[in-house]
Structure 1
């Protein structure tokens, strides 16, 4: 059954179940002027932090300021309880639960005006394979009144029962991850159009009145629209279409509403010809990514829409990195950017924001502090999210008029920074001279040499891996005494076009060598014990873990592969029983260019297939797969498991039938990482017999 919507809590009355959970929230909004998180406490406690402190569901699910900055919307919950949505009045410091259900969790949420919020639902206790409902779509006022169900979760055509009988939007109606104008009861939402095979064919944009449920479809340009971008006034201004192997960026004229093409470029490959929009900078100007002056990396530039030209002088450059980030703006102007280099941080163009950043950093000197602002420029409050390598994150409110800093919540309060490992961004040379960036996390305590090492390989593979900061998997391994190396092997995004293209068609070849060279670097530096190294990863990382055991059996003592590719050919054609969700366009145009052609490169695919080379995998292996995975279907795992059975006596297998591409359920995450802990301990940890 769908959520019991009559259980929405009205006004200022808190239910008995939620009152206790929220009781600490208003009280928590106390001055935190001198309460910076302790990052360097005494030596770590003898008892190891429990697995659940890393992987259990978090009680606090984020916060967002209303456009005028007077109200704070918060998603919260507790162990065994459903996540609910509450609103805190920052003037009276009082809280109201506005949505709470006995059979669903509040999911994503956003303000659409000072009075009204939009949200959807989720089922955090249900895996993807057992999912029964779509997210739905709902709106409610900040005092809990005027609740409206907008989009159905089940596919039924009409609402029934005690609700007003009217047609609901279909289940495939979703929130747009853009704030919009935030000045009325209307909002833009998307509606996905899929074909009979489940392939996405286009995305419509609807203007939705959240009080009446009435919609207007935005006229779209010719072609298959895949994404939409709103301008500074919250109006649809850009649409991106995909036709075969070509992306086109369309611009909608504010006066006439007519669409015209700004640019067309290859959808796949190195992105050299792409016009990648970041956001608008007022009428007629667009922020885009571009390479100029012979630069290998992208920078942030302005683009003149009338002339169709990129201004050659960059607005912001992240030296040594591609620009990876977004604009921070209010209704009046762009204030700065949120961007990632080795870590995620802010850079401000606005003097007031520079001063606010300096003041917050003085109050919280041991963390990186990210500031976000409400839509109204005169709002006094800013939301602060703080984090470090040893601290998962916390939220606070900063009043730039009074200088008051008020704590809201910690993301994982059970985590003690003194029990976490310290992290640094390093670079080492691959055998062909290419520089490989990497994150190195050392375990807590004084030992800095001769450590057991886990090489943790990111998925993708053509994406950016981890950034400096607290990560559950990395810090769990560090807390158990392992050094963790996370290489940004060739093909990883974010480090320039040369680094990215160097990974094309290099699965199991130079990409694999980059990982091995990282191990040899760590051993040569004295950081790692060369006799105690394990390689691990998910998705492509799982593939790399298995290929590491094929290609460098003397380097790795064991391998851990969860939801990993085991044969490139299976990505193209897994058989009629097993299909993946990789798009037809990527299979036809992207994969042959970036990974290889299944016919022309058949010999290479076989030589770099863990499945085909299974007899060479003699080291201990842990395999874990989701039974409902559509990205890397479970036959990748079962076929490798069966192939290894003939020659390898030390293979541990676990299947989570309800899971997809990764672990969504708390119980499965805790179970899996418990298996990882025991597996590593046997083979490279304290229980392992060292030579």
Structure 2
């Protein structure tokens, strides 16, 4: 045993069950507080007067699937949220009246996915929404009257990837995919799209260049823009003269989040996330407030909501070694009051730091990565254990996404079970400039996988990991990486945990959701084009399914039956191929889930199964599963003996 026995097991339910509260916000008029919290065991919307947060009441009554996203209507009269059915990602928009509590669906259509196109601080009872109920590939733009529910069509979406509106809810820009794998940007005047684009990207800038919104007066358009540079800069464009001003850039990483004034829309601060996230102010007053909050709070901060007069904020803080919390901040009085701690039961738990590290790839690229170690394995907290440990390589999805520094329940869970945990931003990950993304083009299962192998060898070489006791685990692309690890490098890992991972890149591209059509050309150029002989060969060569006979290490698969991105067939295929060859596999299906496990009882159940699986193959600690699996909808379609 590599971890001292006196370190208590942190219960899975405390890490992955419902938080006490989450997503706390203040209404634009400052009169009310809102948040998500359990109601009859399911995450629902709650509301309370800002003057008396204890006088709270639930505003929704979801019975099975948790609400995961919501926002305030600009007039503060309603809360808006989206909800799908059993993970199908056909999100519909709902409105809850804060006075009456009336809860109504504003987009009552079947097989439809709503997107928010535009919000307004001056037309507070309206929204622009995109609906694909006419054609599942394209979102038509409608103006939605929040009070009456009336929808008025503004523009058809055929051929367009999206639209951008100003605060008057006037459509100003249309975005259309082009033959180079990028996007063309067209001006819109009087709901007529210009014949020629005023801006464009090719493939290399497609993921790092996009409009970031208008100022309220419509005079300035902000861009996050990598054209002419590697990392994306924050740029302001004068919509009358076309003059462009670079407001911020960083050679290490793309400009990420921006903080804009709630009334004027003027960007006042921006964030850069290389190893950790840093906020830099453009406005002196905002800079002073951010400095004050950094002095008062320990951890990474985010401004999660602001009143329209900008006098009161909700501030989320992530202490990494403690549960995230949200505070109420009165800027006039300089008063900071605790709103809530998301998981108070973890406040005194043996949580561990996350170490940001830079790992060299074999060809010289730098891989920003994050390492967590068991509580008593690294007494000096220097990032190197006293002795090498079994390790879990936890691979992020996307792949066009990234791992970040912060409180991570999976890192905390696995470290508590006596494993080193390493998450790697392999090439193709976002946030580190366009060259780093492009380095992953056509490299699924090749150089992208080499980066993961290089990271494991780095951990072994530094005395962090035991070479023969490393597991690979991840969801979506991370699930693909798991399957690639067990097929392309069959002796590199002791076992693998694949969650909603594609096994066959050819069928993956054949079955993506119809509303992803605007980015199909990007998929073809970055993964392989199935419409060409060489592209089809590449996709087949990089598909773990066709190398299933090479699997010699234990594999656990988790899948949602209703996944619209990585269809159930992706897991069915690899499990069947293994069974046909008498290769043991454990395959768990959740009939009421999609791309991941949203219901806590299902997530806890799968993690209980994974924990037993890892303990059997790596030798770590294990909390007994008890009744958690029986309390879920888990179905074992295959079970290794």
TM beyond 0.5: yes
Equivalent-residue separation in structure 2 for 1:426 and 1:374 (angstroms): 34
Alignment of structure 1 residues 70-469 onto 2, 5 Å: 70-78=31-39, 80=41, 83-90=44-51, 95=55, 97=57, 99-101=59-61, 108-120=69-81, 122=83, 127-128=86-87, 135-140=92-97, 142=98, 144-145=99-100, 147=102, 149=104, 151=106, 153=108, 172=112, 174=114, 176=116, 179-181=119-121, 184=124, 186-194=125-133, 199-208=136-145, 210-219=146-155, 224-231=159-166, 236-242=171-177, 247-252=183-188, 259-260=193-194, 263-265=198-200, 269-271=203-205, 276-281=210-215, 282-291=217-226, 295-311=229-245, 314-332=246-264, 333-364=266-297, 366-372=298-304, 374-377=306-309, 379-416=310-347, 418-447=349-378, 448=385, 449-461=387-399, 463-469=400-406
Q: Which residue of 2 aligns with 1:13?
A: none
Q: Which residue of 2 aligns with 1:683?
A: 617
Secondary structure in 1 matching 2:55: strand
Secondary structure in 1 matching 2:138: strand
CA drift of 1:289 comes to: 2.3
Q: 2:464 aligns with which of 517, 524, 527?
A: 527
Equivalent-residue separation in structure 2 for 1:582 and 1:135 (angstroms): 17
Runs of 5+ unmatched residues, structure 2: 379-384, 623-641
CA drift of 1:679 comes to: 1.0
CA drift of 1:482 comes to: 1.1
Secondary structure in 1 matching 2:346: coil
Change (3 A) 1:337 1:656: same
Change (3 A) 1:544 1:152: closer
1:624 and 2:558 aligned: yes
Equivalent-residue separation in structure 2 for 1:373 and 1:671 (angstroms): 34
Secondary structure in 2 matching 1:248: strand
CA drift of 1:643 comes to: 1.8
8 Å Cα contact 2:316/2:326 also seen in 1: yes
Equivalent-residue separation in structure 1 for 2:592 and 2:398 (angstroms): 22
Change (3 A) 1:369 1:417: farther
Q: Which residue of 1 aligns with 2:487?
A: 550
8 Å Cα contact 2:22/2:37 also seen in 1: yes
Deviations 1:340-395 (A, max 9, x none): 3333443222222222222222222x212222453533x43111100032234111
Q: Which residue of 1 aligns with 2:474?
A: 537
TM-align CA RMSD: 3.2
Secondary structure in 1 matching 2:279: strand
Change (3 A) 1:111 1:273: closer
Q: 1:571 aligns with which of 494, 504, 508?
A: 508
CA drift of 1:82 comes to: 6.1
Larger deviation, residues 65-74 vs 498-507 = 65-74
TM-score, length-scaled by structure 2:
0.85
Change (3 A) 1:524 1:543: same
Larger deviation, residues 555-564 vs 231-240 = 231-240
Deviations 1:54-113 (A, max 9, x none): 1112242322222233432333324525624313233x6663537243758766443334
Q: Which residue of 2 aligns with 1:51?
A: 12
8 Å Cα contact 1:454/1:482 also seen in 2: yes
CA drift of 1:150 comes to: 5.7
Equivalent-residue separation in structure 1 for 2:208 and 2:398 (angstroms): 20
8 Å Cα contact 1:327/1:337 also seen in 2: yes
The size of the alignment, in residue pairs, is: 605
Change (3 A) 1:83 1:602: closer
8 Å Cα contact 1:110/1:179 also seen in 2: no
Secondary structure in 2 matching 1:503: coil
Secondary structure in 1 matching 2:126: strand
Secondary structure in 2 matching 1:439: strand
8 Å Cα contact 1:134/1:153 also seen in 2: no
Equivalent-residue separation in structure 1 for 2:35 and 2:78 (angstroms): 11
Secondary structure in 1 matching 2:479: helix
Change (3 A) 1:102 1:649: closer
Change (3 A) 1:670 1:613: same
Answer with 1 or 2: which has the greater Rg.
Answer: 1
CA drift of 1:564 comes to: 0.9
CA drift of 1:467 comes to: 0.8
Q: Which residue of 2 aligns with 1:503?
A: 440
TM-score, length-scaled by structure 1:
0.79
Secondary structure in 2 matching 1:176: strand
Secondary structure in 2 matching 1:469: coil
8 Å Cα contact 1:390/1:417 also seen in 2: no
CA drift of 1:675 comes to: 1.2
Alignment of structure 1 residues 58-77 onto 2, 5 Å: 58-77=19-38
Secondary structure in 2 matching 1:605: helix
Equivalent-residue separation in structure 1 for 2:581 and 2:256 (angstroms): 45
Q: Which residue of 1 aligns with 2:638?
A: none
Change (3 A) 1:321 1:272: same
Equivalent-residue separation in structure 1 for 2:62 and 2:393 (angstroms): 42
Alignment of structure 1 residues 13-32 onto 2, 5 Å: none
Larger deviation, residues 54-63 vs 656-665 = 54-63
8 Å Cα contact 1:109/1:119 also seen in 2: yes
